Amino acid sequence: SQQGEEDPQALSIQEGENATMNCSYKTSINNLQWYRQNSGRGLVHLILIRSNEREKHSGRLRVTLDTSKKSSSLLITASRAADTASYFCATDNSGNTPLVFGKGTRLSVIA
């Protein structure tokens, strides 16, 4: 069962622009995480936001969480060509359940 649904499915921007990706989910969550995947590689964890948090920053990444709307957004500021990858949100509804991933957003940053 797919819990998270990312939007848009694909995004193409120029280097230096900001990229915003959204994630919507269906049931209540314990926390929400964002991951990055370069083509043909494993996923790499980017950031985790807990259900009682509203915003979190890590370098050029900013994540927001709105539990009333069951949605999260990932903002990458001043994007670089090296940011080209697929980005996935993942949720869990307790500390003991596996993460459930969305289908991802494919980001292309054009130099």
Partner 1 sequence: DGGITQSPKYLFRKEGQNVTLSCEQNLNHDAMYWYRQDPGQGLRLIYYSQIVNDFQKGDIAEGYSVSREKKESFPLTVTSAQKNPTAFYLCASSIFGSGGRNTEAFFGQGTRLTVV
CB of 35 to partner 1, least distance (A): 8
Token couple for 98: 């596996």
User: Does 101 help bind partner 1 (rule: CB under 8 A)?
Assistant: yes
Given the structure tokens 């919507």, which residue do they identify?
24
Taking residues 21 to 50 in sequence order and writing x for each that binds partner 1 by CB under 8 A, - otherwise, the string is ---------xx-x-x----xxxxxx--x-x
* Coil/strand/helix, residue 96: coil
Size of the site for partner 1 (CB under 8 A): 28
Q: How far apart are CA 19 and CA 96, in angstroms?
A: 32
- Other beta carbons within 10 Å of 68: 5
* Coil/strand/helix, residue 29: coil
Q: Which of 21, 102, 107, 109 binds partner 1 (CB under 8 A)?
A: 102
Q: Which is nearer to partner 1, 13 or 99 (CB)?
A: 99
Q: Which of 74, 100, 107, 109 binds partner 1 (CB under 8 A)?
A: 100
Q: How far apart are CA 68 and CA 53, in angstroms?
A: 12
User: Does 105 help bind partner 1 (rule: CB under 8 A)?
Assistant: no
Q: How far apart are CA 99 and CA 93, in angstroms?
A: 9
Residues binding partner 1 (CB under 8 A): 1-2, 30-31, 33, 35, 40-45, 48, 50, 88, 90, 92, 94-104
